[in-house]
Amino acid sequence: MSQVKFLNLKLKNPTVLASGILGLTASSMRRVVEFGGAGAVTTKSFNIEWRKGHKNPSILPFRHGLLNAVGLSNPGIDEMVKEIRLFKRQCDAPIFASVFGRTIDEFAEVTRRTVEAQPDLIEVNISCPNVHSEFGQPFGNSCKDTAKITEIVKKNAGNIPVSIKLGPHGPGVARLARVCEEHGADAITAINTVGPGMLIDIEVRKPILSNKTGGVSGPAILPIAVKSVYEVYKAVNIPIIGTGGVTVPEDAVQMILAGATLIGIGTGVYYQGIDVFKKIEQGIREYLDRHGFKSIEEIRGGAHE
């Protein structure tokens, strides 16, 4: 009942580990599948060269979610290719490789190298909101850059499908999603963290994050994510990985009603534990049962007129 088809893939259930959470190593991602119950996993975003990212504090809980400026730390493509291959040898669940670049050429190169590991999907992170000071505005804030990156990643991805990860900012997520679809994207991941935002320590009277600002995730952003998925579903025909603030099954059902095919879960791990995937999958099933539906397909996009 929870099985879902996404592009050329069959997932045991529609939950996906979102990028940036527990996605550094094969062992960690395998545990998210085997113990946590995720239908698929996404790696931490990586590039050709390793990066240390921002200093700590880089991840901070607040009353309604998390604020993070990890700063795209990653061990580089060589390490990540190894980890993806190891995961594929040990685990049947699909693995999505999240890539980023500082320049459009880097997106091409990291895609070419990622293909070596044969992930099931390449997710393109063009919307990280916490590296402004170094990278400038995210590419995903411009329709022109989004088009260029989609095109170049597709050109280098071979037969591996590509999802572009968009944020709620810039020219609007629906417009950006249309641009991605027109330039060959196979799916859309919506949304990235929101903001950036800031938290200040009132005794020290300074921002707490070492980067001062960071992306907001968790329950606080669920309504923005649901609305973004709703708009993207209206705008394009390609499937959507709905991500942002999903913590309990009811949040996931909202995402599906808005039009998501898969549900990305990241910060939910903080609130519900690693088995958040299992809990949400079970809750979706109970919802379908209660309302007499036989499959998730029957309710997808159900909130639209």
Partner 1 sequence: MSDLMQTFPVKRIVEHGPGVKSFYFDRVTDADAGQFVNVWLPGIDEKPYSVSAIGEDWLEISVKAYGVFSGAMMKLKVGELVGIRGPFGKGFTLRDNALIIGGGIGIAPLRILARELSDRNFRFVSLLGAATAHEVIFVDDFRRRSSNCYVTTDDGTLGKKGLVTDDLLEIIKKEKIEFIYAAGPEIMFVKIKELIDPLGIPYEFCLERYMKCGIGICGQCTLDGSGIRLCVEGPVLNQDDLKAVTELGLPHRDASGRRV
Question: Would you name the residues annotated as active-site residues?
Answer: 128
Q: Which of 193, 192, 215, 204 is nearest to 60 (CA)?
A: 215
Both tokens assigned to 38: 């995720």
**Binding of partner 1 at residue 219 (CB under 8 A)?**
no
> Which residue from 220, 266, 281, 288 is in contact with partner 1, where contact means CB under 8 A?
266
Please tell me whether residue 90 adopts helix, strand or coil conformation: helix
Q: What distances in angstroms separate CA 78 from CA 50, 125, 165, 223, 241, one per listed residue?
A: 9, 19, 23, 38, 27
Q: With CB under 8 A, what is the number of residues at the site for partner 1?
A: 46
Among 7, 143, 198, 208, binds partner 1 (CB under 8 A): 208
> CA nearest 185: which of 167, 166, 161?
161
- The rounded distance, in Å, linking the Cα atoms of 39 and 26 is 15
Q: Which of 4, 11, 22, 40 binds partner 1 (CB under 8 A)?
A: 22
Q: Which is nearest to 229 in space by CA: 248, 250, 249, 257? A: 257
Given candidates 147, 199, 248, 299, which one binds partner 1 under the rule CB under 8 A?
199
Q: Which of 56, 103, 133, 295 binds partner 1 (CB under 8 A)?
A: 56
The answer for residues whose C-beta is within 8 angstroms of residue 219's C-beta and 6 or more apart is 64, 65, 245, 247, 271
**In the range 151-180, which residues lie near partner 1 by CB under 8 A?**
none
Contact between residue 40 and residue 17 where contact means Cβ atoms under 8 Å apart = yes
79 binds partner 1 per the rule CB under 8 A: yes
By CB under 8 A, is residue 212 in contact with partner 1?
Answer: no
Is 29 one of the binding residues for partner 1 (CB under 8 A)? yes
Q: Which is nearer to partner 1, 25 or 111 (CB)?
A: 25
Distance of alpha carbon 239 from alpha carbon 241, whole angstroms: 7
Residue 56: CB minimum distance to partner 1, A: 4
State which residue, 79 or 106, has the beta carbon closest to partner 1.
79
Where do we find the tokens 């592009």?
Answer: 7
Q: Single out the residue of 210, 248, 282, 287 in contact with partner 1 (rule: CB under 8 A).
A: 210
Residue 61 is a binding residue for partner 1 (CB under 8 A): yes
Which residue type is seen at 219?
P
**Contact region for partner 1 (CB under 8 A) — 19-27, 117-125, 129-137, 154-162?**
19-27
Residues forming the site for partner 1 (CB under 8 A): 20-25, 27-32, 35, 44, 50-53, 55-63, 66, 70, 73-76, 79, 199, 201, 203-204, 206, 208, 210, 266-267, 269-270, 274
